[in-house]
Amino acid sequence: MTDSGGEWSQVKRKGRKLRNVSKSLADENVPSDSLQPNPKPEYSIDDISKYHDNVSKKFKESSCWDQLQKLLDSARSSHHIPCVTRAVCLGTGPYDPADGSSQARRTAHMQTAAFCAIIDKIRTETKQEIKCFIQEPRFTQTDKEFCTTLGLEAVDSPGGFGLVDNNTLLFAIHLELEICNLAMRNTLPAIFIGTGLDEWLRVVDNTKERSGPLHRFFKLEGNYHKLTFPDLDYIFSSTSIYLREDGQLAQNASGSTSIAGDEKHEDGNHEENNETNTKVESFK
C-alpha cells in the first residue's frame, strides 16, 4: 500500500492482523485512516468503564500479574527499581475500535490495565507520586475522558514523546521501532517496557551497526537490568522490562551527558535517523 506522503508496507506477526507501517519518519504527520479515531463511536464512558473493570479484574487474577509482581518484588529487593516520577503509556489502541474488533478492544484494555497495575504497585511500595500520561492517536474524545477516570492524562500525538525523561517509566508494547526511538530520542527512561533488543535483532535489517537504528536498545541491554515480561494470550509476547539501576546516572542513549537524539557517535558523525530507513515489523 502506498500513500501520497511516502511508502507504506504491510507486515504480519504470529497471528496478528495486518497493520500499515510507515517507512519514513516524516510520514508520522501524514493522515492515515488507520490512525484516525472512530468517526462513529459506539460506547459511552459507562460502557467503557464496565468493560475495563472486567478486563482489569481478569488481569489481576491472571498468572501473568502474579508472575509480574514476583519479578518486580525481586527486582526491588535487589535494588533494581529506579526512582520513577512519571509514566508514559504509548499506543495501546482505542477502546472503541472503528472496525469493531473485539480482540483489539480487549488488547487495548488489557495493556491499559497492566500499565495501571504496575504504576499502582510502584506507587504503593515507593510512596512516590507518579504522574501518568497516555498517548493513542485513535482515541475518541470519550476514550480520553475515560482515561481521566483512571488517573491518566491523555495527550495528543506526538506530545507524549517529549514527556519521557530519565525518571519516566515508558510503556510501549508492540510498537514500531521508529516510535520507540522517537520516545527515547531525548533520553533513556528509568524503566522501559516493550520489545527488547533480542527481538529487534531478529526482525530489523542492518543490526550489526551499534550506531544504527538499534543503538538505544544496545544501551538499554548493556546498562540496564533486564526481565522478561510474562505473556498473556500473546498480548505481551516478546516484551522485556529494562530497569535502570539507580547507582548509575540516568544514562542517556549516547552513553554521555548529552541526550539520545542527534548525538555524536564514536566516529564523530551525527546520527542520521537511520531508523527511518529500517525495515520494521509491527506486532499489533
Q: Is the pLDDT of residue 135 over 60?
A: yes
Full-model pTM = 0.79
Please compute Rg for the chain using Cα positions: 18
Q: Under CATH, to which class is 62-265 assigned? A: alpha beta
pLDDT digits (tens, 9 = 90+) for 192-221: 999 999 999 998 875 667 778 999 999 999
| Element of type H or E holding 89 | strand 86-90
Q: Where are the domains of the chain?
A: 62-265
Burial (CB < 10 A; 0-12, 13-18, 19+), residue 31, is: exposed
Tell me the mean pLDDT in the region 243-262.
53
Higher-pLDDT residue of 204 and 231 is 231
Query: What sign does the CA torsion over 253, 258, 261, 264 have?
Result: negative
Provide the 8-state DSSP code for 18.
Answer: P
Task: Please tell me the predicted confidence (pLDDT) of residue 78.
Answer: 85
Residue 140 has a pLDDT of 98
Where do we find the cell 508520522?
28
| Percent residues over pLDDT 90 in the chain | 68
Burial class (CB in 10 A: 0-12, 13-18, 19+), 92: buried
